[in-house]
Structure 1
Amino acid sequence: MRKMDCWRAKWMFSCPIKLYAVGDGGTVITHRALRRSQVVEFFSKLELCLIGLDACASVHYWANSITQLGHKARMMPAAYVKVG
């Protein structure tokens, strides 16, 4: 299963959302920035994966949106999110 991390400081307002995807062997698959309007479309095209979300004010909204697409979303404190 793929793993993907999204980190908090970039979830706000007009800042891009930073995504960091890692494959089963630990190899980097993608490292990109998305606008808020592109997030659901991006995840709807991906195969199902585990997504780690850095806890912030809007993380529940994004976790629910991503979970509705069939992915597994896990929220965690900022201290546990390792930025590439």
Structure 2
Amino acid sequence: MSIDTMIGVDLAKSVFQVHGASMNGEMRFQRKLSRQAFPTFMAQQPAAAVVMEACGSAHYWARVLSGFGHEVRLIAPRYVRPFVKRQKNDAADAEAIVVAAQRPEMRFVEPKSEAQQSAAILYRSRQRLVRQRTETVNALRAALYEFGHVIPQGIRHVGRIRAILEAPNSDLPALMREECLAMLEQLAVLSG
């Protein structure tokens, strides 16, 4: 079965703009669809090349639309921008997506599976936790530095920080020690 229609979709949170064209660029339809109406509309379309910008929900919609028999392609937004002909709006963006996708030299992004998206989310969560842990250690080092204690960089020196804060003859103000001990507790949770 040959595909003779290309559908450009400008995804949004609640309203999607759809631009259908023949493979040589002749416009066939333009629609503005609610998020709820979009899957129904696309399920009723004959198999087509569906093109979207690779954005937050594009991989989800790529899986849904592939299930309807469409051939889905994703384009990095920076490759679409030069093809917007008139003022920037959703309809112009949907049309520009089709025009960009029809270029023979266009590079597409491979849609991610649920497992790939889940792994990416897990990786970003871990990066966030590592970043928070580093920020907390650096905040502790900075607080102690303000009171004359120099601690080398690195998570391995946390024991040194704890020893300074918990020393019975500490020269640190009680309020500062309490706050730093609370940060150490946060650090223990982040390192857990």
- With the length of structure 1 as denominator, give the TM-score of the two structures: 0.85
Q: 1:66 maps to which residue?
A: 65
Give the deviation of 1:55 after TM superposition: 1.2
Structure 1 unaligned blocks of 5 or more: none
- 4+ runs deviating over 6 angstroms: none
2:42 and 2:72 mapped to 1: Cα distance? 11
Which residue of structure 2 lines up, in the alignment, with residue 6 of structure 1?
Answer: 9
Q: CA deviation at 1:25?
A: 3.4
Alignment partner, residue 88 of structure 2: none
Paired position in structure 2 for 1:56: 55
Q: Which residue does the alignment assign to 2:25?
A: 26
Aligned-partner Cα distance in 1 for 2:79–2:20: 16
Distance 1:34 1:26, change over 3 A: same
Separation in 1, partners of 2:46, 2:61: 17
**Structure of larger gyration radius:** 2
> Which letter does structure 2 place at the counterpart of 1:40?
P
TM-score by length of 2: 0.39
Q: Partners in 2 of 1:80 and 1:30 — Cα distance?
A: 23
Tell me: CA distance 1:6–1:78, structure 2 relative to 1, closer, same or farther (3 Å). Answer: same
Counterpart in the other structure of 1:41:
40
RMSD: 1.3
Give the number of the structure whose residues are more often strand, by fraction.
1
- Name the one with the larger helix percent: 2
